[in-house]
Amino acid sequence: MTQTNTDSVKKIASLINGVKFAMLTVQTEKGHLHGHPMTTQDVEFDGDIWFIGGKDTAQVAAMRLHPQVNVSYSHPDKGVYVSVNGTAQLVEDRAKLDELWSDFYKAYFPQGKEDPNIQLIHIAANGAEYWESDGKVRSLISLAKGLIKGEQPHQGENETIKL
């Protein structure tokens, strides 16, 4: 089933809210897919995703060549998995950096917000898919019941969204 409305964006926002880390997958110069963890910014998802990265990283170099990326979120304890595909844009915007910055980043950028290596990464979401179940225990119970009864177990909700 495909959804295409504001409720869909709100649904994705509710699912990824509170997930501290995401996996950002880029395409390397050789065409290989490479995923790496990124800190989720404390802003509500509205179709855009923001990260702070380093200009000198292989990931940023890959996004310069191939801006199509994927961002994956998971919250296994809640049975929530989200995959967002989008287009990366490397942005210079002091006001946005001020909005996103926390002292956590000083570990990566010792000069603070003035560090010339800071790169804002804006992902404009094209679409998303999510899987949501009742959680690990309930999913296992449903799976066991399905096996015993010879029926397809209800594994939760799966939706594809065009943004």
What's the confidence (pLDDT) of residue 156? Answer: 66
- Averaged over 6-11, what is the pLDDT? 90
pTM over 0.75: yes
Residues 6+ apart with CB under 8 A from 19: 40, 73, 74, 75, 80
pLDDT digits (tens, 9 = 90+) for 49-61: 999 999 999 999 9
What's the confidence (pLDDT) of residue 42? Answer: 81
Indicate the helix (H) or strand (E) that contains 130.
strand 118-132
- Averaged over 106-114, what is the pLDDT? 95
- Asked whether 26 and 66 are in contact (CB, 8 A), the reply is yes
Q: Which amino acid is at 68?
A: Q
> Is pLDDT above 60 for 109?
yes
